[in-house]
Chains A and B, each alone.
Chain A
Amino acid sequence: MQLQYQGSPFSDPGFSAPELQLSSLPPAVVSFKTWHALDDRERLSHAQGAFLALTQHLQLVGDDQRDLNPGSPMLLAQIRAARLRAQGLLGNMAAIMTALGLPIPPEEDTLGVVPFGASAFERKCRGYVVTREYGHWTDRAVRDLALLKAKYPG
């Protein structure tokens, strides 16, 4: 839905631009072999870092979209919902890490100075990247948690 609001090329059917990345956001895509071989600490700390970055980036994207699409309350509500879910997942990760006796990395500012002065098109691009990565990371977190559950039943 978010893509529809941005106009072409984002709204073109089947649009995909995997080459578009934000350096401040860890990419979810990783080779299966690499992902499977991660140990518990690495697995959870990657996810935790990603969702921390995602909550901050979703805030940025929400601000961007409020300017780019002012008359679209549903879009803004969706972005807010995504950010809250990311925060929820962050909490889940922290709880699991504590249960496993792993240290929780401190919160850091993942955005830095990047946001200011971006043009309208640049903001549309980063909106696309953030929502794409949010989707990918959520899928990956589901797999991560399934794996951990199998490993530590109960």
Chain B
Amino acid sequence: MALFSVFQTTFLLALLSLRTYQSEVLSEPLPWAPESLRVFINSTHQCLHLQWSVHNLAHHQELKMVFQIEISRIKTSNVIWVENYSTTVKWNQVLHWSWESKLPLECAKHFIRMRSAVDDAKTPEQSFWSNWSSWEEVHVQNSLGHDPFFVFPKDKLVEEGSNVTICYVSRSQQNNISCYLEGVRMQGEQLEPNVSVFNLNHVAFIRETGTNIYCKGDQGDSIKGIVLFVSKVLEEPKDFSCETQDLTTLNCTWDPRSDTGLLKQLSQSYTLFESFSGKKTLCKHKSWCSWEVAPESQEMYNFTLTAENYLRKRSVHLLFNLTHRVHPMAPFSVLFTDVSATNATMTWKVHTTGNYYTLLCQVELYGEGEVIQRNVSVEVDGKQLFGGLKPDTEYRAQVRCANANHFWKWSEWTRQNFTTAEAAPSEAPDVWRNVKSVQGHSVVTLFWKPLSKLQANGKILFYNIVIENLDRSSISKLLSIPAPANGTELNLDQCLYQIHVTANNSVGTSPASVIIVSGDPGNKEVEEERVKGMEDGFSLSWKPQPGNVTGYIVEWCDHPRGPLCDLQWKSVGPTTTSTVVSSDAFRPGVQYNFRIYGISTERVPYLLEKKTGYSQELAPSDNPQVVMSNLTSRSFTLSWKDYSIESQPSFIQGYHVYLKSKAGQCHSGSEKAVLSDDAVCCKYRIDNPKQKTFVVENLQPESFYEFLVTPYTSVGEGPHGAFTKVTTPDEYCL
């Protein structure tokens, strides 16, 4: 019995002590507290870096823990930051944690401590905090020299738009210190008696050499300051694009936008990374980069372009298929072969890289007023035939190419010119003649107009004239007249001649112009019709001929009054019976005579009609020379026989005879007229331009008269110049 109770007691005792042991375990502090706490200061980045470890961990034991970190400023009771940091802790591991201070570390003393707790699901009842570590003091020493105060942070680099905190630390509390940003006073708050703080919100970029912030004491003892380097915000590169010319090198370009380079910071750098190959390159230029393409290996490319400066990184991506980004080099070796008057063959070469892919080439041919466009598929050599070209014409050709499948961009144009060969002239020259009968033979002047470029098909070298005597059926003359020439003179007898005229270039001869010339003009008398000129010339029309005509010719002299008539002509077709004749030589006051010929089917010209007219009539500029005769006491005779009505500036329709007298009465046959000088006189009208005499009668004896004879036309009469005086004699004087 006693044994059993002893046994029981022992058992109970053991149980008790076990319990005690357990509670002792529970009330002891956690063995996994943070230890060996070390603080590192990075004052440039205003950072505190903590390092610590947890002891008493078993080998290979991993524990999920949470560390609570407290940071105080100025004094330990002033806690400014609390953070829980969770991590898995391994045996012998050194733990790290960083904190960035908004206030520069030199401005105040900082204190830091931490405690830990286990955050493991396996042991939930043990998750309560360890004891706090002791406060670690962080104090940045800055009391070198004898300066009364200091300003912080020195030479800081920030991004535009960020917030910055500045402070000054004064040795003594007596200084009244004022601080300025770019010369403007700043408002601050006192953190401590010796320390004041200024909060700058959204700092702006001012200049690349930085922003001055300085403070001065009122005792004039010092100026201290800092330079704040504000950088522009790095922007994402714009318009990122890559292309290849030859499937061996990729050329990537982008718009870097603003340069964030500063005194304190280099301009941003650009890096190109391709994810499928894993290759990376640092770009030497700020807006483009070259990339070597591994031949025939990779078709898809996934690029990341990263812009980076000290403060920030920005990236853009581009995914593409290499063969969809081909921008070929311009074609080369453009040649023209088999160039004739109307055809040409164009050949060119394109750059290939060995992996044959088809190009689509665009060819354009520019000639005189025409454009030919062709699209051609090309692998190595391109070829195009052109027909229907104009002879002796310069053509400008250009060709460019692009990828036929998956078009990306056209290459540059490659240009080349060529000139087509000459061809024989296509049309007969426009030929006319003038025949003058001189002493039994004819002087025939042949005229022709130069062929237009379109008709000449090359440079005209000479004109051939074949003169065939139809009466004698023989060829009398062969003339070759070198160009340029527009006519020639022939001496022929009165026989009938057929004249062939052709224009010749280096290739051949034009069709012939044939004209029949007979020594005897045999022109029937043709009525001359008067025509009126208009602003742009003369509108002439004539009666169509009953017989067959191959055409009509209107002939005139450009200078009818000059020593050289300057014969002009206009050819029209057989169905035309009217035309407008204009010439730069037409002048007002000049009478032009037009002769209209019909050309028979036998090539013989026949004069059909004559027209005459003034392009613009002008009033006569002088009056006829008048001779007075047969003066009696009551009459006298006027005559102007030498006056020619042919060479006047308008058609003379008649004459006015003005008579001034003292009496002022006008007899029958005349009417009263008032002249421009308000003189009153009698006006006699003569309607016949051919009349060259006039008798003035019904005059008074012994009277003074004055007269003037002036021609009148449809546009006015001659000048009212000097009147001629005459006095009638006494009736009884003979």
Contacts and interface: CB of A to CB of B under 8 A. Distances in A.
Interface in A97-132: 119-121, 124-125
A68 interface: yes
Contacts of A63: none
B223 A9 contact: yes
A13 to B, nearest CB: 11
A31 interface: no
A121 B221 contact: no
B183 A8 contact: yes
A7 B220 contact: no
Given A8-B182, A12-B183, A19-B220, A69 B209 contact: yes
B212 to A, nearest CB: 4
Contacts of B180: 8-9
A53 B226 CA distance: 26
A139 interface: no
B223 A120 contact: no
B214 interface: yes
Contacts of B151: 121
Interface in B218-276: 220-227, 229, 263
Nearest to A69: B209
Contact of A70 (B216, B223, B226, B263): B263
A68 B263 contact: yes
Contact of B214 (A9, A19, A67, A70): A9
Would you call the interface of chain B mostly helix, strand, loop, or mixed?
strand
A101 B482 CA distance: 106
A20 interface: yes
A17 interface: yes
B103 to A, nearest CB: 18
B226 A7 contact: no
Contacts of A70: 263
Contacts, number: 56
Instruction: Give the interface size bracket for B toward A.
Output: 20 to 34
Nearest to A125: B223
Contacts of A7: 182, 209-212
A125 B212 CA distance: 11
B183 A121 contact: no
Contacts of B182: 7-8
Nearest to B227: A120
A4 to B, nearest CB: 12
Contacts of B226: 119-121
B324 interface: no
B154 interface: yes
B155 interface: yes
A7 B151 CA distance: 17
A68 B183 contact: no
Given A8-B183, A8-B212, A120-B227, A19 B263 contact: no
Contacts of A120: 154-155, 210, 226-227, 229, 263
Nearest to B151: A121
Nearest to B181: A8
B212 A119 contact: no
Contacts of B212: 6-9, 121, 124
Contact of B209 (A12, A17, A68, A119): A68
Contacts of B224: 121
Nearest to A121: B225
Nearest to A8: B183
A119 B155 CA distance: 6
Contacts of A119: 154-155, 226-227
Contacts of A19: 220-223
A5 B212 CA distance: 11
Contact of B223 (A5, A20, A68, A69): A20
Nearest to A17: B223
Contacts of A20: 222-223
A129 to B, nearest CB: 11
Pick the most buried of A8, A20, A70: most chain B CB atoms within 10 A of its CB. Answer: A8
A54 to B, nearest CB: 22
B221 to A, nearest CB: 6
Nearest to A15: B223
B16 to A, nearest CB: 70
A15 B670 CA distance: 110
B183 A9 contact: yes
A20 B229 CA distance: 24
A125 B225 CA distance: 9
A41 to B, nearest CB: 32
Contacts of A5: 209
29 contacts: A6-B212, A7-B182, A7-B209, A8-B182, A8-B183, A8-B214, A9-B212, A9-B214, A9-B216, A9-B223, A12-B183, A19-B220, A19-B221, A20-B222, A20-B223, A67-B263, A68-B209, A69-B209, A70-B263, A119-B154, A119-B155, A119-B227, A120-B154, A120-B227, A121-B151, A121-B225, A121-B226, A124-B225, A124-B227
Interface of A: 5-9, 12, 17, 19-20, 67-70, 119-121, 124-125
> What 5 pairs across the A-B complex have the smallest Cβ distances?
A120-B227, A8-B183, A119-B154, A121-B225, A7-B212
Interface of B: 151, 154-155, 180, 182-183, 209-212, 214, 216, 220-227, 229, 263
